Structure 1
């Protein structure tokens, strides 16, 4: 595949991003991209190390005359979210991303693009490569597995980093400086079941929900988009209560940090009830389509004949499952009182899937406050208790408390104003940035997160505005030149 980015500026950044699109790098499979970064550092004679968690740290000395400036850490994550449209043939462990320039935007054909956080990685590599930029002592921290649990940041040991300013290159709105983020915690309910034979007189039906927009479960959670698991559950509850539906298997959603776009279920219904069930399913699908007409106009609900399975999930377990999914909070739980328009607490009912022995219901809880997180934990735990099933909460990761008096915030605000003639917006984000985790291990760090304009991350609609990438680069370069001495 030829480099389609040759016409875009800055060429040094886009060249690295192109190379990243050619390297498969889903979360947990960062071996090849880690080697790319290490080989790059070796080629340019830069100090490099790989820590116990698999993160890569690269160091570059200050340019002449800038040795007394504060040390800056450029931080980005190597992995990307592997999401594709139904019908798109793509293996994220082997295939390169097929990027397209479409007007003002760069996107991929039917898959996530990996601009989150490939643009940040490319920017850090471009700074390390450039011989034209003026800067103090630099480190680049490339973390792993950010999208699937932040294990790279969580595994970062104190004492490895030398700088006292961290620039996280993983935000998605050019012209905005982020100074805080939400913490997150994973929860999993498990319904163990035994299979029972299918009674006589039943017919197999496969139900599919697709076409939803999905998106980032932090950045997009306030947009009211449909959740495929919640929608599917409405069909299953209706079918069970009114038409004797029994569940054979279910597979909805894919990743905890992506709003679920698709769900599929294999069910059986009494043959005498099949026509009435299908009619009511379509009527309910039409009603849901009207509910989501603004947010998810491409919603599709399909029901087709399927081979009759030999067995189904015990009906008493299925009933408890349906009731738990219906009762689970999903979407915005509370808005922030401190910052207008900011979500404080939310839950993403991300995944519902069976494996022949257990149905798992996986959620990602987010909150900017410890109190809000605990309240949501208690709410989800009560759902599991009423359903009579076990629930496991993972340890989670901390949020990042805003510091409006941050010295690097003041510096970057002035740099942006002088460079572009306007004041950047100061914001916090309802998503899990690695700043909170890294800041817990390195409490002396003064941190800012910023980036170009990226839309619909974590979905196949992901795209980056190429002009904003050039502006982001100019801002980064100007900031490095203006970082003051201690």
Structure 2
């Protein structure tokens, strides 16, 4: 499948990306891909090993005469975000990603593409394969479970890697190089809320909020995008005028993707259904006006649902208390950086929210350039949801990556980029959880940068990569490797 990819340039990169598209690799299910890469390394005559968590390392000796060059670690993560459009049947544990080219961009058919971080991984494999490339000692590090927990980086073996320079190939902007990133943590809220039987005078209503674009909860958090969970809570607040009681809720599927859809069921007095529908229609128009062209596809629909004996809505007080807490919860950009113009400092994404049989579950992702600010945001969640008796825990925390503008590796990259493309790259700090912060905490001697091709819509079915930028990315990577080989 995806044979057309090998006709793209550079073919050495796209051939490996085809393998990644054809091999299911959602987070936590990378074993099949690891086995394929190990077999490939054996065929290439390259040494490989894994640490106790399962992260894979493939090593390649230096080109003759470059043995004294600094060791370079090429790093990317094997997993991808698993998101599909509603109504698009796709089993990410079994089905390959189907791709197509349109207007100079590569897309997937109804799902995430996996260019994040598949093209970085493909480029690393291409470097290992390229017999004409001059390079120093190479280590290719492929980490696991980046998209769900940063588990691979967090559990990376210490005293394992030998190189002194690290190239993270998990950035998504053409003509830019990243030297810092936000840290973050998951905030998980669980509660069992009181419920009461459905009354004879109550009608069940199903409400759906769909049509939003979604996006990456870090790099896209400042964009004019709607968060389905945030907006659905506004619908629930509107219905409180009719004594609506919440029955069930399902919004978002990943804590690091801005939710595109949310679905709820409520119970409210039968006599108020018509007025409630009118209020929701008015709210739909209001939300569309607020979102404007930034997220113009929003739809808010409601319909009557058949009563079921097992349905038991929350009590009126519990429903109001939960909706109030969700309405007050931080969501989106909290603060812009005072030191790095145009960069988000601290944010939160209300990523995954569910309610079933009175059981509440919320997973939010807080990010900040300052670890203390991320923990302060997490503490606000603990304080807020503690008021409704919920259990709140903070987990999967990871550190940020402090910028080093004086990096020698950065200087070499900037010089080579200027020579190749007649302009220096923009030096950036990204509001996303690159693994560099964690890797740097385990290997503090590393000099690191991050760069990659132009990817848009990551973490959503709108994910796409610009073909021309992949050619530039590969050209830059090869030239940089040869420059670093001369340092010996």
Task: Please indicate the TM-score interval, normalised by the length of the shorter structure.
Answer: over 0.9
Shift of 1:47: 0.5
1:268 pairs with 2:278: no
User: Does the residue aligned with 1:283 lie in a helix, a strand or coil?
Assistant: helix
The answer for the alignment partner of 2:487 in structure 1 is 485
The residue aligned with 2:119 is 119
- Whether the aligned pair in 2 keeps the contact of 1:204 and 1:307 (CA below 8 Å) is yes
Q: Is the 8 A contact 1:204 1:309 kept in 2?
A: no
Q: CA deviation at 1:247?
A: 1.4
Matched residue SS, 1:4: helix
Alignment size in residue pairs: 485
The match for 1:338 is: 339
Aligned match of 1:215: 215
Q: How do 1:84-483 and structure 2 match up within 5 A?
A: 84-239=84-239, 241-310=240-309, 311-483=312-484
Q: Is the 8 A contact 2:149 2:396 kept in 1?
A: no
For residue 317 of structure 1, report the CA deviation from its aligned partner.
2.2
Give CA deviations for 1:189-233 in whole Å, capped at 9, x if unaligned. Answer: 222124421011111211001111110000000013111111111
The whole-number CA distance in structure 1 between the counterparts of 2:120 and 2:2 is 22
Write out per-residue CA displacement over residues 160-215 of structure 1, whole angstroms, 9 at most, x where no aligned residue.
10100000000000211100000011111222124421011111211001111110
* 8 Å contact kept, 1:256–1:364: yes
Distance 2:276 2:324 in 1: 19
Q: 1:238-268 CA deviation, whole Å, 9 max, x = no partner?
A: 21x2112111111001101000110001112
Give 3-state SS (helix, strand or coil) of 1:5's partner: helix
Q: Deviations over 1:309-368 (max 9, x none)?
A: 332223332222101110001000000011110000000011110232411121100000
1:11 equivalent in structure 2? 11
Q: SS of 1:222's equivalent?
A: coil
Q: Is the 8 A contact 1:323 1:387 kept in 2?
A: no
Give secondary structure in 2 for the equivalent of 1:264.
Answer: strand
Residue of structure 2 in register with 1:20 after alignment: 20
- C-alpha separation between the residues in 2 aligned to 1:401 and 1:372? 14
Q: Quick check: 2:150–2:396 contact (8 Å CA) kept in 1?
A: no
TM-score, normalising length: structure 2? 0.97
**Aligned partners of 2:396 and 2:300: how far apart in 1?**
37
2: CA distance between counterparts of 1:247 and 1:320?
11
Per the normalisation by structure 1, the TM-score is 0.98
- Cα deviation code 1:106-156 (max 9, x no counterpart): 011111000000000100011111111110000000000000010000010
Q: Partner of 2:74: helix, strand, or coil?
A: strand
Q: Which moved more, 1:357-366 or 1:424-433?
A: 357-366
Q: Matched residues in 2 for 1:419 and 1:282: separation?
A: 54
Runs of 4+ in structure 1 displaced over 6 angstroms? none
Residues in 1 aligned to 2:299 and 2:272: alpha-carbon distance in whole angstroms: 23
CA–CA separation in structure 2 for the residues paired with 1:167 and 1:369: 23
CA distance in 2, matches of 1:439, 1:192: 40
Is there any run of 5+ residues in structure 1 with no aligned partner, and where? Answer: none
SS in 1 for 2:353: strand
Partner of 1:42: 42
Shift of 1:50: 1.5
CA distance in 2, matches of 1:196, 1:386: 21
User: What is the rounded CA distance, in whole Å, between the counterparts of 1:80 and 1:360 in structure 2?
Assistant: 24
Q: 1:91 and 1:370 mapped to 2: Cα distance?
A: 36
Query: How many Å apart are 1:431 and its aligned residue?
Result: 0.1
- 3-state SS, counterpart of residue 352 of structure 2: strand
Cα shift readout 1:398-454 (whole Å, capped 9, x = no counterpart): 000000010100111111111111101100100000000011000010000000000
Distance, in Å, in 2 between the alignment partners of 1:330 and 1:349 is 6
